[in-house]
Amino acid sequence: VESMKELPSGAGKIPRLNAVVLGEALASEEDDLVVPSEDFSRQALVSSPQQYLEMYSRSIQDPAGFWSEIASQFYWNETWGSEVFSENLDYRKGAVKIEWFKGASTNICYNALDRNIKAGLGDKVAIYWEGNELGQDGQLTYNELLEKVCQLANYLKSVGVRKGDAVVIYLPMLMELPIAMLACARIGAVHSVVFAGFSAESLAQRIVDCKPKLVITCNAVRRGPKTINLKDIVDNALVESTKNEVPVGLCLTYENPSAMKREATKWQDGRDVWWQDVVPTFPTECPVEWVDAEDPLFLLYTSGSTGKPKGVLHTTGGYMVYTATTFKYAFDYKPSDVYWCTADCGWITGHSYVSYGPLLNGATVVVFEGAPNYPDAGRCWDIVDKYKVTIFYTAPTLVRSLMRESSKFVTCYSRKSLRVLGSVGEPINPSAWRWFFNVVGESRCPISDTWWQTETGGFMITPLPGAWPQKPGSATFPFFGVQPVIVDEKGNEIEGECSGYLCIKNSWPGAFRTLYGDHERYETTYFKPFAGYYFTGDGCSRDKDGYHWLTGRVDDVINVSGHRIGTAEVESALVSHPQCAEAAVVAVEHEVKGQGIYAFVTLIEGVPYSEELRKSLILTVRNQIGAFAAPDKIHWAPGLPKTRSGKIMRRILRKIASGQLDELGDTSTLADPGVVDQLISLSDC
Ligand code: PRX
């Protein structure tokens, strides 16, 4: 971790952003227990704290036995040897290494589709697809999904994609997105899905890093009232990647006719191929490529403290077992459930809990292309009623944005099918938790506030909804096999009621194995800050009852609406603007997005401040990263507070950004303490 933030003061108290709005006045949210109903607990997979403790203790005392028992419910073409897993998390003892089920061979696509079909689920709906516009929908049974996956897998093989080759997928939430992921997995190719809100530059950067055999995209998508021309973005990215000596000779393009007709799509003959012209001509059966449990399944780029995104690499066997098991227990999954996760497959949540986790369980999944507030703020509940959704999994930012609207948008829909709710991506403030629980779930549905990360593959700290009372805003207790520890600055474990840095003590099957092409950065970022542990980058406190309260990132990562953005990425986009000399970015609290992006910008000598320039700086970030990373505020900075050795003192910038001017602390070590007054005087410009 290049520069670690001081722990937030009062760690453990999640900021209660909307407390005023709701007129809430809880003395202490830590003491505020919400007990699952007896009816719910009785039918739950884990129905009491005792049952959880028994299972949890076994998973820690005998991880090999615990996980191999669960793993044997899957299909393995060959099984693992005597060693279920091996690990070294301590870099002082040699290279950090994690392996699960090594030597066994399997295929995650086979386990998600063929295995479930063999068990009689062929005619069960695998995916309900809901388009952006009302009334636009589709569905695929497990049989139909397998046929579509096989056709694409056969096409991929026909163009030379082989086991171990990378394939970049830049698609919106069409059924073709999980189809493409599964098709890659079926033939042992490594998919790298890039969220279709990333800009051409970001896409190009990822293409250059992983050198895919082809890019799979679609011509355009409707998101709310807007049409976004994705093919143009891909075209620009491919020009850029070619300049960087990574030419990609094939771009498979799905025609999304409700967004754009093919005639209107820019085309490069020889490189571009319409999905609909080729894929349906291939056979609907495709043999499975058996891969080693430790063969790579996918790469997913995520933000870190430095500018370059990290290619988080997940392998096959452990990830499969872990995502399926966490899905089952954290949502108390039953075969009759209809499950909807609002995340996009461009993020880890969409990988583990739109595609793999639910499909491995033979679940029926809703995939939604559109925006949750389009045509109005009732769209989610309209979808819940339409498909009789029983498990609804979303992000606090969506909850907060919907709770600002009239609750009539919720209450005019029945929602009686709902039985479990879920939250992910950032701490959920207790007032949003309560609105979600009381208004959306009518005080009937437990909330699984799942804490995890791209790196962890699956849930790490999460309620098991029928097992114990919940505390609004707490992710509660660790999942089976996970040993979270809270450490102080020196890396000493702290026991009991405490706050500190959240680390994990051991490996778990879903852990990432490396950063693609940069094992050294993997070790430095995650395993060196606190020797012997995986460091999560998050602060956490544990209360007197042992509940965990996540307090946010302690590194230079900002969490905007549950999206991880590195301050360095935004800074490097800003300084690429010809009139920007220097930039420093910090997070500020934001009522809907959780955190907002606050940028201090120093201009080139002689350039005057202007509204136009402010817009142009923001546009530069949108173009280089994506709209979701656009700064909320540009603060003109004639100079930045630096130490004598030239290091920017972000602590001071954070205080200025959040208006805590009486808490600036010691500024005497600054090379030029006068810059602080200058900055304060420009706060409202
Ligand atoms: O800070 C934590 C926050 O999101 C970070 C991981 O981001 P990403 O890899 O993009 O994955 C997001 C989806 C898993 C974490 O380091 N975070 C995620 N879930 C929670 C959370 N913070 C508090 N509570 C959560 N439930």
pTM reported for the whole predicted model: 0.93
Rounded to an integer, the average pLDDT of 256-272 is: 96
CB of 475 shorter than 6 A to ligand 1? yes
CB of 424 shorter than 6 A to ligand 1? yes
Q: CA separation (Å) from 426 to 27, 30, 423?
A: 23, 18, 8
Tell me, in angstroms, the distance from the centre of ligand 1 to residue 587's CA: 15
Residue nearest to atom 24 of ligand 1 (CA): 427
Q: What pLDDT is recorded for position 673?
A: 87
Q: What pLDDT is recorded for position 685?
A: 77
Query: How does pLDDT run across 528-571, given as a tens digit for each residue?
Result: 999 999 999 999 999 999 999 999 999 989 999 999 999 999 99
Query: How does pLDDT run across 197-214, given as a tens digit for each residue?
Result: 999 999 999 999 999 999
Pocket test for ligand 1, best of 564, 569, 593 (most atoms within 8 A of CB): 564
Tell me, in angstroms, the distance from the centre of ligand 1 to residue 555's CA: 13
Q: What is the 3-state secondary structure (H, E, C) of 500-533?
A: EEEEECCCCCCCCCEECCCHHHHHHHHHCCCCCC
CB contact set of 163 (below 8 Å; sequence gap of 6+): 187, 188, 189, 289, 291, 295
CB of 394 shorter than 6 A to ligand 1? no
Rounded to an integer, the average pLDDT of 353-357 is: 98
Nearest by Cα to 475 from 432, 424, 421? 424
Query: How does pLDDT run across 98-110, given as a tens digit for each residue?
Result: 999 999 999 999 9
Q: What is the torsion angle, in degrees rounded to the nearest 10, for the CA atoms of residue 386, residue 392, residue 395 and residue 397? A: 50
Contact between 305 and 393 (Cβ < 8 Å)? no
Rounded to an integer, the average pLDDT of 365-377 is: 96
Q: What is the C-alpha separation between 244 and 200, in angstroms, rounded?
A: 14
Tell me, in angstroms, the distance from the centre of ligand 1 to residue 42's CA: 30
Q: Angle at Cα 52 formed by Cα 49 and Cα 58, nearest 5°?
A: 140
Q: What pLDDT is recorded for position 479?
A: 98
User: What percent of the chain stands above pLDDT 70?
Assistant: 96
Quick one: which atom of ligand 1 is closest to the CA of 537? 16
With 60 as the cut, is the pLDDT of residue 50 above it?
A: yes
Tell me, in angstroms, the distance from the centre of ligand 1 to residue 424's CA: 7
CB of 425 shorter than 6 A to ligand 1? yes
Rounded to an integer, the average pLDDT of 7-21 is: 32
Q: CA separation (Å) from 1 to 267, 305, 535?
A: 44, 7, 9
Backbone angles phi, psi at 417, to 5 degrees: -70, -25
CB of 346 shorter than 6 A to ligand 1? no
Q: What is the C-alpha separation between 155 and 278, in angstroms, rounded?
A: 7
Query: How does pLDDT run across 284-306, given as a tens digit for each residue?
Result: 999 999 999 999 999 999 988 77
Q: What is the 3-state secondary structure (H, E, C) of 603-672?
A: ECCCCCCCHHHHHHHHHHHHHHCEHHHCCCEEEECCCCCEECCCCECHHHHHHHHCCCHHHCCCCCCECC
Residue nearest to atom 26 of ligand 1 (CA): 451
Rounded to an integer, the average pLDDT of 616-620 is: 98
Rounded to an integer, the average pLDDT of 9-14 is: 34
Tell me, in angstroms, the distance from the centre of ligand 1 to residue 282's CA: 40
CB contact set of 674 (below 8 Å; sequence gap of 6+): none
Q: What pLDDT is recorded for position 13?
A: 32
With 50 as the cut, is the pLDDT of residue 24 above it?
A: no
Q: Which DSSP letter does residue 118 get?
A: I
Tell me, in angstroms, the distance from the centre of ligand 1 to residue 30's CA: 21
Residue type at 237 in one-letter notation = A
Pocket test for ligand 1, best of 393, 449, 538 (most atoms within 8 A of CB): 538
With 50 as the cut, is the pLDDT of residue 347 above it?
A: yes
Rounded to an integer, the average pLDDT of 168-172 is: 98
Nearest by Cα to 629 from 554, 570, 557, 575? 570
With 80 as the cut, is the pLDDT of residue 12 above it?
A: no
Quick one: which atom of ligand 1 is closest to the CA of 536? 16
Q: What pLDDT is recorded for position 5?
A: 56
Nearest by Cα to 556 from 571, 541, 577, 542? 571
Q: What pLDDT is recorded for position 1?
A: 39
- pLDDT band per the 50, 70, 90 thresholds, residue 29: low
- pLDDT band per the 50, 70, 90 thresholds, residue 34: very high
Contact between 217 and 254 (Cβ < 8 Å)? yes
Q: Which residue did the predictor score with more confidence, 309 or 275? A: 275
Whole-number mean pLDDT of the chain?
94
Tell me, in angstroms, the distance from the centre of ligand 1 to residue 586's CA: 18
CB of 265 shorter than 6 A to ligand 1? no
Q: Which residue did the predictor score with more confidence, 91 or 3? A: 91
Nearest by Cα to 70 from 83, 84, 86? 84
Residue nearest to atom 3 of ligand 1 (CA): 426
- pLDDT band per the 50, 70, 90 thresholds, residue 28: low
Q: If phi over 0 gives left and psi between -120 and 50 gives alpha, with beta otherwise, what is residue 570?
A: alpha
Is 555 considered catalytic here?
Answer: yes
Quick one: which atom of ligand 1 is closest to the CA of 450? 26
ipTM: 0.99
Active-site option among 555, 632, 662, 666:
555
